[in-house]
Amino acid sequence: MPGSLTEGESFLWHRPEPRIQIGLAYLWKQEAFRILGNYVLLEETATRPNLKVGAGIQSITTGNPGYYATTEKNFHLKDGTWSLYAGVGFRSNESHSHGIGGLRYEPHGPWAIGLQLDGHQGHPYLTHRIGNVVVGYYLADFEQSGYLVGIRF
């Protein structure tokens, strides 16, 4: 159903070169796949944020296919790294765009905390890195608990 809540989603990402990332997501509730991709138009430098465009493509009957453009800047400070991003997103089942953004703080070490703003809601999260594995907890719309697990290989 259009706009249905994603209750569980699994991702597989591949970066064939530094500027291109492609992926496949499976939405458990909708029993559907989403094709994902993004491209870095401008790489981040010491004085300039990056510029990235991307898309998530799936059937309109199973969720929210959409497109986005964002800019991100990382600030490496003595006590850790702040990452900030902002942009615009467009969902195919809506007739208008949304501002999107987020921030993440990673002190030196395995922990990180952040907030993702998807144009409708805010989602705070906390992650812990153990080698190539990342585990975490988030609150979708500051209400619904969720867990995340990621593996980099």
pLDDT band at 5 (very low <50, low <70, confident <90, very high): low
What CA–CA distance (Å, rounded) separates 13 from 34? 12
54 contacts 37 by C-beta, under 8 angstroms: yes
Write the DSSP assignment of 54-87 as a string of letters: EEEE--GGGS--EEEEEEEEEEEETTEEEEEEEE
Where exactly are the structural domains of the chain? 9-151
**9-151 belongs to CATH 2.40.30:** no
Maximal CA-CA distance, the chain: 48
Mean pLDDT of the chain: 89
Q: What is the pLDDT of residues 117-149, one digit of tens each?
A: 988 999 999 999 999 999 999 998 898 888 888
pLDDT band at 1 (very low <50, low <70, confident <90, very high): very low
Residue 45 has pLDDT above 70, yes or no: yes
Residue 110 has pLDDT above 60, yes or no: yes
Residue 91, class by beta-carbon neighbours within 10 Å (0-12 exposed, 13-18 middle, 19+ buried)? buried
pLDDT for the residue 77 = 96
Q: What is the pLDDT of residues 80-101, one digit of tens each?
A: 999 999 999 998 888 889 999 9
| Amino acid at residue number 75 | F
